[in-house]
Amino acid sequence: MDINLKGLKIAIIGGNSPCKRILELLTGPGLKEVAPEVLLVADPLTRSEGILCAKEKGIRVTADFDDICRLSGIDVILKLKNDEVLNCILEKIKTEKVRIIDLGAHRAVSFIDYLEAEEEKIRIKTKILAKEIDRKEIVALFDAYSARIRKNAEKEKKILELERADLIEIEKELSQIIQGSMIPTFIINNEHIITHWNRACEDLTDQKAYELVGTDRQWVPFRSAKRPTMADIIVGRMSEEEVTKYYGSSWRKSVLIKEAYEAEEFFPHLGKEGKWIFFTAAPIKSPDGKIIGAIETLRDMTQDKKAKEELELQDKELSTLYEKYKKSEEKYRSLFNNNPNPIFIIDSKTLEILDVNHRVENEYGYNKTELLGKSFLNIWETSDETIQQGLETLPDNKSILFTKKKHFKKNKTGFFVNVKVVHATYSHRDVLIASATDITESVEKDTQLIQAGKLATLGTMAAGMAHEINQPLNVIQICADLIMKMINKGITIPDEELMMMARDIIDNVTRAAGVIRHVRDFSRQSERNLKKLTINDPIRDVFKVLGHQISVHAIQVKLELDPDIPEILAEHNRLEQVFINLVTNAIDSMDENAQKLEIEGGMAQKILLIKTYSKDDQVVAEVSDTGIGMNEAVKRKIFEPFFTTKETGKGTGLGTSISFGIIKDYEGTIEIESEYGRGAKFIVRFPAIK
């Protein structure tokens, strides 16, 4: 390890056992000659060994990682703790002036060996300079020091081998994640060489990974001549003028990812007729903040643009369909059969199918004769009870829109549609005219967006999950250590004590496995499958993963959940995502309010209240906080995608937008009651199952 300790100003992050030993060496008599100085030890766990040791030695301690950034005259930060929030904080530090040394479990041991070796070197140097030492003693000292160095080198070699194995495993996992992603993705390194080109990217571009990986030909699927992709621009650190030179006005800085760029362009070389692609590129950085590569994701927007145009055309044609029929049966029949969307003519009383256009036959796989006389409800998902009621009660000359409903083809294949139904007259008969638009691809993309929101939320859950798993692991470690010590000393363990320790180990293994299973179930992508559930259940599950964060942020939680509340029709997994978003936003708001009041010399109460009850055939959940609140301008924009009031890098602006979409999917509503400086209340309502 290459580090000059002489006069070094040091800060330490993490107060675990290695921290205590490092403090003992740095402040001990053995290194007094080089006089390194520890300025600060930071860890929110105030009873950890390192924090207690620092206090004994009169070294400043803190529970706030931000204090590191405010420290002046610092040369080195020893990082003994891994934390996503901590990584964001350390990004603020200028690494050209301050060296950050990441000491994981293995590296901490290596650093301690290095300090002990330096201590031994100083001791040997002192003895050699003494006049009374003889040659044999010098030889013995050098032999002992050489043996220590060899031993340290062997340990370092083993550590490097372990780290190499870990890196290989991480690389395998990364490749599996990227390959398994439904989002077209490729990665280049800092030499502009492609390292990953996933299957989704192969499908989009018709370029195989084996043809491109290991080359700098990432431009080939998109351009007729070599030109930098957005990932190349990130790696090359091009100026905004250079980016504009290549992408004109079609590019912009990403509002979601720091230092990322995004753009939308039409590529005539993709597919048979060309494709509209929305692409985002972001840097991949090493622990010291250097750009070591870039990742670029692609999204095919072609169908979205076509669907929008077709929907506008369909709405226009539907509104005049009846009048056109009266003027010209031949013209009506041509428009009817050539409409880009399937159209059904349905008896308004019996809901029998009276007529269909050619598009129905093409899309649903039925012959016209197979559908005539059958109930229109036969092609719908039978579990949706709202369809029949909506059709039978539709007033004359009025329309109704059913969104994200499931239809089935003749071969039983399901797909999602928006269905617009108009009550009109057809051949002097009272009918319903229904037009269906296939939105399966859009629903799948919405599902992917919700899944991306879940993965972002998992970052917020990580601290709580680590705490919930560490506690049972500590109990298991203590029990195992006690058993080993008694065995090594030859002490017979009484059966009663052994059974008690075994039960502790089993209980805590079950607890840790439950936490992991819950997080795995939450992160899994699920199909749209509405079920009856009690809203209290996903609310309680929020605190299985956010309980530690609630405790760390000193928040008082009040749950007033109606035990007899009616059931609703929804999905547990997605409702949990909604309430996790509302709770984490409340935590951030209360922290911001506390900081504001602290600056003004006041004190803030942090109270989170979640209440459920039923009213007027609706199930209501209220999430209230004593946070900073919001003004009218923020309330108007809060559910817009990418809108956020948080600092850059601390929020994506997608959480409330995704939550709004999920609530709307379940025919629910969400309202806000808030004033700036007086907290906020989010009121969520869903129709109760009667």
Cα 101 to Cα 83: distance, rounded to the nearest angstrom: 15
Give the 3-state secondary structure of residue 280.
strand
Q: Given this model, what pLDDT does residue 187 score?
A: 92
Q: Are 404 and 528 in contact (CB under 8 A)?
A: yes
The per-residue pLDDT for 545 is 67
Output helix, strand, coil percentages for the chain, rounded to the nearest 5.
45, 20, 30
Q: pLDDT band at residue 17, thresholds of 50, 70 and 90?
A: confident
Cα 416 to its chain centre, rounded Å, is 26
Which domains, and CATH codes, for the chain?
Answer: 9-172 (3.40.50), 181-300 (3.30.450.20), 305-438 (3.30.450.20), 443-687 (3.30.565.10)
- Cα angle 318, 323, 324 (rounded to 5 degrees) comes to 80
Please state, for a pLDDT cut of 90, what percent of the chain lies above it.
Answer: 20
Contact 54, 38 (CB under 8 A): yes
User: In the structure, how many helices (H) and strands (E) does the chain have?
Assistant: 21, 23
Question: Pairing mode, if any, of strands 669-674 and 680-687?
Answer: antiparallel
- Calpha distance 549→178 (Å, rounded): 30
Q: Compute the distance between CA of residue 546 and CA of residue 551 in angstroms, rounded to an integer.
A: 9
Helix (H) or strand (E) run with residue 440 in it: helix 440-488
- Model confidence at 653: pLDDT above 90: no
Mean pLDDT of the chain: 81
- Phi and psi at residue 484, in whole multiples of 5°? -65, -40
Residue 389 pLDDT greater than 50, yes or no: yes
54 vs 46: CA distance, rounded Å: 11
Mean pLDDT of 186-199: 91
Mutual angle of helices 495-523 and 572-599, in 10-degree steps: 100
386 and 377 Cβ atoms separated by less than 8 Å? no
What pLDDT was estimated at residue 649? 46
Closest CA to 407 of 448, 356, 449: 356
Higher pLDDT residue, 482 or 519?
482
Give the residue, 607 or 516, on which the prediction is more confident: 607
Residue 148 is inside which H or E element, if any? helix 135-180
Q: Which of 69, 103, 50, 86 is nearest to 60 (CA)?
A: 50
**In this predicted structure, what is the pLDDT of residue 325?**
47
Return the top range by mean pLDDT from 44-53, 107-116, 332-341. Answer: 44-53
Identity of the highest mean pLDDT range in 214-218, 357-361, 451-455, 588-592: 214-218
Whether the CB-CB separation of 390 and 384 falls below 8 Å is answered with no
* Residue of higher predicted confidence among 652 and 485: 485
pLDDT band at 584; cut points 50, 70, 90: confident
Would you list the DSSP string of 538-576?
HHHHHHHHHHHHHHHTT-EEEEEE-TTPPPEEE-HHHHH
Instruction: Give the per-residue pLDDT at 103.
Output: 83
**459, 462, 464, 468: CA torsion to nearest 10:** 160
Residue 95's pLDDT band (cuts 50, 70, 90): low
Give the H/E segment covering residue 536. helix 536-552
Cβ count near 635 (within 10 Å): 17
What is the DSSP code (8-state) at residue 236?
T
HSE of 242 in the Cβ direction (CA atoms, 13 Å)?
Answer: 11
pLDDT tens profile 344-379: 989 988 899 998 888 888 889 998 889 998 999 888
Q: Which residue has the tokens 């629910």?
A: 668
Both structure tokens of 175: 């490749």
Q: Lowest-pLDDT range, 74-88, 236-250, 516-530?
A: 516-530
Evaluate if residue 328 carries a pLDDT over 60.
no
Structural tokens at position 307: 């669907």
DSSP letters spanning 522-535: HHS------EEE-T
Q: Is the entire prediction scored with pTM above 0.85?
A: no
Residue 116 is predicted with a pLDDT of 86
Confidence of residue 612 (pLDDT cuts 50, 70, 90): very high
